[in-house]
Amino acid sequence: GEPTPPISDAHRGPTGVLEVPQRFLMGPGPANAEPRILNAQSLPLLGHMHPPFLKIMDEVQQGLRYLFQTDSKYTLCASGTGHSGMEMAIANLLEPGEKILVGNNGIWGTRVADMAGRFGAEVVELKTEAGTSFSLDTLTAAVEKEKPAVLFLCQGESSTGVHQTLAGVGDLCRKHNVLLLVDTVCSLGGVPLYADAWKVDAIYSGSQKCLSAPPGAAPLMLNDRALEKVRARKTKVRSYYFDLNLVGDYWGWFNSRSYHHTGMTSMWYAMREALAIVAEQGLESMWERHEAAHKQLWEGLSALGLQPFVEKPEDRLVTVNTIKVPEGIDWAAVSKNAMDKFNVEIAGGLGPTAGKIWRVGLMGYNAKPANVELVLAAFKDGLRQQGWELA
């Protein structure tokens, strides 16, 4: 028969109840979650096809329509973090050999280009310097030259702190029969977005930033144009898990409900609660709160003599703020001091900005005056330790 050796204790797992430190997550995400959302996650599990659970999924879809400002029926949460929304959008919207024009002004364009290539798309990258956004003229010229099937833009480039305006881009895409795909992982709920009015065809986002939920759900939206493309594909979507023809049927897109994968029960409770908070607060007040936190931060940082990495004020992202590391200052020591002494996470750069900047996230539950004051206190203390002359 099968051998039955003694059970190995070499890798016996942890025991005892888990404890974690309380921290202020003021980097580019995850942000701290609303306690009410964390509480929702401890509610009893339901079966993934039980009517009360399907009702929660419906509520999530409705909440997403408000959040995206769309009348589209086609909203859902991908099971996974922001990357799952990214991968789902790309896997579904492009057939092998089709062209995607990727606006690349930081790490997210780079990743979308990589992903689209893996799904067999022809990738053309449109690049601009880190810390800048794309002008409508630049986008128009590139779309006219490349005639892509899909144009990708990142509304909130969290590696550089750049806000990409979408003004006029939707019209440009309609004119040339291009689908417009936008990443809103670190901007949705923090800055204005009007999916229908701005003619954005597909959007994905994340749960752990301005929505104040834990990481693990990726809000996604397709409008009718985008869905038609997915329904009319000549080739099967190359990912079973992310095939919207199948996932959409679990979310009731096609007027039935069939099991595709087990819904992420507790995560979707969290999203339901996050979206209830959005509906209760109202988008306008959320956007204003984020804007106010951003202003407060920059008043304080300017008083310390620090400068924004993003030159043009209109390009500055409200939710992820990027700050130049002054010459002679050890950025990592400032971040370490913030964590050690204040329990505050202040992140460094990423990709093109590594070593050059700090990044401060003001998102969701964390976009409030007390948190901004804490970040400013941590900067002041850390800089003073390095002999920085406070302005």
Query: Cβ closer to ligand PMP: 203 or 286?
Result: 203
**Should residue 206 be labelled a site residue for ligand PMP when binding is judged by CB under 6 A?**
yes
Nearest approach, Cβ of 83 to ligand PMP (angstroms)?
4
Distances (CA, A) of 246 to 22, 231, 249, 318: 40, 11, 5, 36
Give the nearest distance from C-beta 155 to ligand PMP in angstroms. Answer: 8
Residues 6+ apart with CB under 8 A from 8: none
Answer for which of 72, 75, 104, 158 binds ligand PMP (CB under 6 A) is 158
Q: Which of 186, 222, 323, 376 binds ligand PMP (CB under 6 A)?
A: 186
**Residues 70, 167: Cα–Cα separation, whole Å:** 17
Query: Does 28 sit near ligand PMP (CB under 6 A)?
Result: yes
- CB nearer ligand PMP, residue 28 or residue 382: 28
The answer to whether 316 and 308 have CB atoms below 8 angstroms apart is yes
Q: Which residue's CB is nearer to ligand PMP, number 95 or number 183?
A: 183
Q: Which is nearer to ligand PMP, 62 or 110 (CB)?
A: 110
Determine, following the binding rule CB under 6 A, whether residue 183 of this chain makes contact with ligand PMP: yes
Piece of the chain touching ligand PMP by CB under 6 A; list 43-51, 52-60, 182-190, 367-375: 182-190
| Per-residue tokens: 317 | 């992202």
What count of residues does the chain have? 391
Q: Does residue 108 bind ligand PMP (CB under 6 A)?
A: yes
DSSP code, position 338: H
> Is 29 one of the binding residues for ligand PMP (CB under 6 A)?
yes
Task: Tell me the C-alpha distance between 136 and 222, whole Å.
Answer: 23
CA distance 198 to 61: 20
Minimum CB distance to ligand PMP smaller for 54 or for 93: 93
Residue 142 CA, chain-centre distance (Å), reads: 25
Q: How far is the CB of 300 from ligand PMP (least distance, A)?
A: 24
Residue (46 or 77) nearer to ligand PMP, CB: 77
Number of residues located near ligand PMP, criterion CB under 6 A: 14
Residue 185 engages ligand PMP in binding (rule: CB under 6 A): yes
- Asked whether position 219 contacts ligand PMP by CB under 6 A, the answer is no
Query: In whole angstroms, what is the distance from residue 161 CA to residue 165 CA?
Result: 13
Mark the segment that binds ligand PMP (CB under 6 A) among 11-19, 37-45, 152-160, 165-173: 152-160
Kindly tell me which residue out of 53, 62, 66, 83 binds ligand PMP, with binding defined by CB under 6 A. 83
**Which of 130, 27, 114 lies closest to 352 in space, CA to CA?**
130
Candidate list 82, 109, 219, 308; residue touching ligand PMP; CB under 6 A: 82
Among 81-89, 96-104, 118-126, 263-271, the segment contacting ligand PMP (CB under 6 A): 81-89
Q: Which stretch binds ligand PMP (CB under 6 A): 37-45, 180-188, 238-246, 256-264?
A: 180-188
Place of tokens 């009718």: 224
Residue of 103, 131, 156, 361 interacting with ligand PMP (CB under 6 A) = 156
- Residue 36, interface with ligand PMP (CB under 6 A)? no
Task: Considering the complex, state which of residue 57 and residue 154 has its C-beta at the smaller distance from ligand PMP.
Answer: 154
Instruction: For residue 287, give both structure tokens.
Output: 């956007």
The two beta strands, 217-222 and 75-79, are antiparallel
Using only C-alpha atoms, the chain has a radius of gyration, in whole angstroms, of: 22
**Listed residue (80, 317, 72, 98) closest to 203, CA to CA:** 72
Q: How near is the Cβ of 98 to ligand PMP at its closest, in Å?
A: 22
Rounded-to-integer distance, Cα 127 and Cα 177, Å? 22
Residue 52 neighbours by CB distance under 10 Å: 8
Residue 118 is assigned to a ligand binding site: no
> Position of tokens 């990044």?
359
Q: CA dihedral defined by 73, 77, 82, 84, rounded to 10 degrees? A: -100
CA dist., res. 320 & res. 318, Å (int): 6
Query: Is the backbone peptide bond immediately before 30 cis, with ω within 30 degrees of 0?
Result: yes
Comparing CB distances to ligand PMP, the nearer of 113 and 186 is 186
Using CB under 6 A as the criterion, which residues of the chain lie in contact with ligand PMP when the complex forms?
28-29, 81-83, 108, 154, 156, 158, 183, 185-186, 206, 215
In the annotated binding site, the residues are 359
In the annotated binding site for substrate, the residues are 359
